A and B are shown apart, each in its own frame.
Chain A
Amino acid sequence: MNAEWKRRNFLFRSMVGVGGMALMDALNAATPVNPLAPRKPHHAAKAKSVIFLTMLGGVSQMDTFDPKPALEKFDNTTLDWTNEKRTDQPELYTKPRLILKSPWKFAKHGQCGMDVSELFPHLATCVDDLAFVKTITGENGNHPAATFLMNTGLVLPGRPSVGSWVTFGLGTLNQNLPGFVVLPDFRALPFSGSQQWGPGFLPASYQGTMMQWKGEPIQDLKPHGNLPEKDMQDQMALLREYNHSYLDGNFTNPDLQGRIDAYELAYRMQTEVPSVLNLAKENEATRKMYGLDEETTRSFGTRCLMARQLVEKGVRFVQLYTPSQSWDSHTDILKGHAKNAKEVDLPIAGLIQDLKQRGLLDSTLIVWMGEFGRTPDHPADLRDKAGRDHNTKAMTMFFAGGGVKPGVTVGATDDLAWKAVDQVYRMRDVHSTILHLMGLNDMRLSHYHAGRQMRLTDTGGDVIRGVVA
């Protein structure tokens, strides 16, 4: 029995008290040794994998997918905010502010007639595959706290991220690859780095594995200093022999075998990972689809293509990040958002089309969101280089793929897209929806820690029914 499982087991045991002992023994017998072995979902799953496209910094909803004519009307005027005293950002409203109309034109796209601005010309061609939610609300207007909330359900560091929870609940399908892969942008890593994809109190097996799109994809995948193949093999062979003979007589320690297995997997990963993540085997049309031929789109595009290659091979959860704070256009949104949209628009559209043509979109859930939305106004003194500030009261996001009802829009914001007013959802509802589509019940997916059963959604979220097919 693996140490990690033993630990959970004993925690559970302590949870159920003496009375649960017999139950735990029964559980034990049925439990796989490998913490990443595939496990049955709670209910029939709609999707097998998740690709989470994280737009760090906060995308402006009224400049992308939530057009508001009232912004034109009130452009360059001040609104009375005195009725909105309970804000999490009191400092924001101490200075005079001006409404800003969107600098981009909107048009209706697809059969569903979804509004998309000029910022996303390629994504606009995919709207019939997307399900938008315009009413996601947050709890904290600071980047790190909001990013933690988006990833872990709590504004503080130290909790398991959604990718860890999903892998914890379902295991993973390919034992030669990590179950949860993170593809950050090395120009600026997310705040708090690996804590954003950490396992928190879950076993370390569920930690996200960071991969790079340039150079070696996984840290230490290849031996340091270009060790010749022969040396690697000889080392591995000797290690295997020594470790096997050490098993004799030491059968009270099942981890000895566990560690031998981990080395064998690592050894297989050395060949499996490079063969899966092989951009050269993709044809020219595919490469173009993801924007690999353009400098602007190469980083995000390559990572989108890697994401497809990984879910194709059974990786459970892949999370992509734009650079930290990249969408954070407090000033000069015209420039900032244009640059950021350009980097991701074509690759995301390429990803969706590619998954579709390979028949993978039905089993892959795509989630696109940032940590919060943005305000309809900005400080008056910055009119000449206007931007938008953080807004936890409304954000637009979309789902696509496995189990998602395509071409729908859920929820509505007020006239300025400042505040969600109809069908308001919280971050935990997004989590609940992701888990639901993956076949997991957010209330049943729990882990005993620090005196109680912990959950991604704490006391439970509401599945956003409108986006579920």
Chain B
Amino acid sequence: MAHLITWKVVWIACLATAVAAADDAALYREKIEPVMKAHCAGCHTGPQAQGGLSVASLADLMKGGKRGPALMPGKSSHSLLMQFVRGERNPRMPIGGKPLPETMVTALATSIDSMAPVLQSQAGGKDHASWVFQPPVDPKVPEPRNAAWVRNPIDAFILAKLEAKGFAPAPAASKRALLRRVYFDLVGLPPTEAETQAFLADASADAYEKLVDKLLNDPRYGERWGRHWLDLVRFAESDGFAIDGERPTAWRYRDYVIRAFTHDKPYDEFVLEQLAGDEMQRRPGGRENEGLIALGFLRMGPWERDTNFDAQLRLDWLNEMAGTTSQAFLGLTVGCARCHDHKYDPIPQKDFYRLQAFFAATRIEERPVAHLEVEGRLSMRNRLRQLEDDLEAANAAVKSLDKTLKAKLTAAGKKEDELTKFLNDKGSAVFTAEERAKHKEAAERATKIGLEMARFQPIAYSVNEVAPPAVMDVEPTYVLGGGERLVRGEKVEPGFLKAITGNSEPAKIEFPGRYRSGRRKALAEWIVSPANPLTARVMANRIWQHHFGEGIVRTPSDFGLNGDRPSHPELLDWLAQRFIEKKWSLKAMHRLMLTSNAYRQSTNHPESQKISEADPENRLLSRMNWIRLESEALRDSMLMISGGLNRQAGGPGMFFGVKDEIAQGFQMFKWYASDEEAQRRRSVYAFQRRSLPMPLMEVFDVANMSESCARRSVTTVSPQALTLLNGEFTAVESRRLAGRVIELAGAEPARQVAKAFSLVLQREPTASELDKALALWKGRQPAEALTRLATVLFNLNEFLYLE
């Protein structure tokens, strides 16, 4: 019945806008009511109204019946009424009668579309706004009946809601399922055989808690969780657009993020550094330098390098930054307000530009920043020197080759400066194919070294300020009509969102001088202020989302009125409070969530059929959600299981191999694949070129590098099957795994099968599975049979989904 009440609220809201409502009432009386009376009222009025739907009034239509509202003002296509009379739904209405004439249907649709739209989100919107834009208060932890199930307050919140519906939580997951779940969750890789055995054998009461602590201290944790953040900040190592030029030192930002997670950098500090790392207090240990690298956040968006329109480019950049900052840290989509007042959230257009003004003094800059100790300062320097020497040698080789070839050219009566022309002219007999190939190879070697050198330069992909030293004289910011650069409206000062502060006063910004405006710092400090109602909730929700598969708010970067309503608002508030209380420590939050009983539930529930009718989305968390391995976890796991994983951490990314025809199709950049061993590094270290995502990653729903990605889609499409079953990567790693199995298990086929199962799935095969697998050994060499089995295991649902 909830929708009945909320729709009354809508109706009242609609009356409040008296003029529109009056027009709509007239529209209804003239255009809709007569049709309803003539064709629908027979069945759809009075206490016996079919389907609970009465068509007696506009309010009744909007209230709707069992199927929901029949009429949505302004949205004919969403109105059930239209869908039924059009026959888009069965049965076509009027039931048993002739379809309404086309002209009548069109007239109905036009009338409905002409009505003032009533925001669906206003259904309860006021309540949501009073929650989302107000700082969280510490809620009372509920006291559910089954107190024994409550390990920590998270469970109390979850269980209370379940009990209110008369449901019980699912039983605990098996130890093996929990082991796999927490390994993939925290480090993105499966446990080894030894780790599996140790955990399964550990009967102590806190075996699981010890495991969680161990994994939180595992350096691979940063690689796994850093990637979540990189999704959010649209991390890429190229500009996008036509040239898609390389950003050779963007990897330093990626490593900064990984380090931040590994070392549990307090989230407030993490935010401050990414927005205002250049303005942070200098502390011992090269922190300012790290701050300059952290500013890469502001640079990660696409950038059209060859544009012939700098002013527009800058505006695009400012817009992109304001939009991404808001989405990533505040969970608000302010982008809409670039052109007009936000249609759903209380964000006036002016606020978009007040937010954008915080960046008005910022300009992009590649800044010299010596490599940090943690980046391997010494080895970086040595590598750079080595490359410089290599380049010199390579250039010399090209030069001497040129000299020889030029001599040949002149001997043939051609001009020296026609060397390139004749080298490219395959039809000419001046040079042999061998000479041409040799020259090409030498020239390419030099190019390649040049590219490589740029990646080791002590430069940060960063920003700087354009503020003059003494006076606060920054390029003014205007509200732009329709977002158009030339349509200037009111001039605005930097200011925080009115929806949160309740006023449109300019932000009080302490002007620090020294070529700094202090603007970004002011914004960052406001974002991480414990009084900010969004920051802690949004991040707590993101952490929850990655652990549980879905957020408490399922639109993690849209907490606004049109976003999802939290399933457990009190729990989210409680988590947000703990996050601040625990000094913004992510690891403390992980520990809290992972040690709850809610997390340890099975993915199956004995009463799942009954529960799923009431809660098809599992919003109440009566069981654990199924989680499919993301593309990175999938690829990395295959490498680890096969024994091929290269654990080299940090530094410039690796260039995966691409098919020649694809590599050669790119005109503006050269793609040189790294050597085979380097290609076997973890996926987070794959070079992120916007126009060339790794094919295996792309097909498994990797984040789009063009905009902030808060939630990857999980699609199930056939190209995934083709890639994972037929692709070269699977073929190579399956063969490698076969070799490893033979080495570990010896020659006995049954032991080989058991070993393969154990490595891939962390369990023994059943007798029937073993039998079926052994059929592969008929007529095949053991290595060949094992390779086939490995391919099958890598493609199993059981491998890709976490129970």
Contacts and interface: CB of A to CB of B under 8 A. Distances in A.
Interface string A181-198: 000101111011111001
Contact of B721 (A4, A86, A265, A324): A265
B792 A242 contact: yes
A441 B77 contact: yes
27 contacts: A7-B713, A14-B554, A19-B2, A19-B68, A22-B64, A86-B486, A89-B308, A142-B308, A144-B241, A144-B242, A189-B666, A194-B693, A212-B661, A215-B661, A219-B723, A220-B719, A222-B726, A235-B788, A235-B792, A238-B773, A245-B768, A251-B608, A252-B603, A252-B605, A255-B801, A262-B718, A451-B563
A225 B730 CA distance: 11
Given A88-B309, A157-B241, A450-B335, A20 B120 contact: yes
Given A17-B6, A223-B731, A204 B715 contact: yes
A4 B6 CA distance: 28
Interface in B42-96: 64, 66-69, 77-78, 80, 88-90
A285 interface: no
B373 interface: no
A7 to B, nearest CB: 6
Interface residues of A, number: 105
B750 interface: no
A19 B72 CA distance: 11
A252 B607 CA distance: 10
Interface in B691-729: 691-693, 695, 698-699, 701, 704, 706-707, 713-723, 725-728
Nearest to A215: B661
B10 A259 contact: no
Q: How large is the interface on B (under 10, 10 to 19, 20 to 34, 35 or more residues)?
A: 35 or more
A157 B308 contact: no
Nearest to B78: A16
Contacts of A245: 768-769
A465 to B, nearest CB: 17
A469 to B, nearest CB: 19
B692 A193 contact: yes
Contacts, number: 297
A142 B701 CA distance: 29
Contacts of A204: 699, 701, 713, 715, 717
Contacts of B713: 4, 7, 203-204
Nearest to A236: B725
B745 interface: no
Interface in A189-235: 189, 191-195, 198, 200, 203-205, 209, 212, 214-215, 218-225, 227, 231, 234-235
B457 interface: no
A19 B565 contact: no
Contact of A3 (B333, B563, B690, B716): B716
Contacts of B333: 450-452
Which 5 pairs of residues, A with B, have the shortest CB-CB distance? A23-B68, A451-B333, A158-B706, A266-B721, A189-B665
Contacts of A17: 6, 120-125, 565
A267 B240 CA distance: 35
B612 interface: yes
B306 interface: yes
Nearest to B787: A231
A21 B714 contact: no
Contact of B706 (A157, A249, A267, A444): A157
Given A157-B241, A220-B723, A444-B77, A452 B66 contact: no
B336 A451 contact: yes
Contacts of A188: 665, 667
A450 B335 CA distance: 9
A193 B617 contact: no
A239 B715 contact: no
A205 B717 contact: yes
B352 to A, nearest CB: 13
B302 interface: yes
Given A242-B796, A259-B797, A10 B626 contact: no
A243 interface: yes
A40 interface: yes
A10 B716 contact: no
Interface in B564-593: 564-565
A145 interface: yes
A239 B123 CA distance: 48
Q: SS class of chain B's interface: helix, strand, loop or mixed?
A: loop
Interface of A: 1-4, 6-7, 10-11, 13-26, 28, 30, 35, 40, 42, 86, 88-91, 141-145, 156-158, 178, 184, 186-189, 191-195, 198, 200, 203-205, 209, 212, 214-215, 218-225, 227, 231, 234-235, 238-239, 241-243, 245-246, 249-253, 255-256, 258-263, 265-267, 269-270, 324-325, 441, 443-444, 450-452
Given A186-B662, A219-B727, A451-B336, 14 more contacts: A1-B616, A15-B120, A88-B309, A144-B242, A189-B662, A189-B666, A191-B244, A218-B722, A222-B726, A224-B728, A252-B626, A262-B720, A265-B721, A450-B327
B304 interface: yes
Interface in B771-802: 772-773, 775-776, 788-789, 791-792, 795-798, 800-801
Given A19-B120, A204-B715, A255-B716, A221 B626 contact: no
A301 to B, nearest CB: 19
A55 to B, nearest CB: 17
Contacts of A227: 726
A203 B77 contact: no
A219 B801 contact: no
A200 B704 CA distance: 8
Q: Which of B309, B716, B730 lies at the interface centre, i.e. has the most chain A CB atoms within 10 A of its CB?
A: B716
B685 interface: no
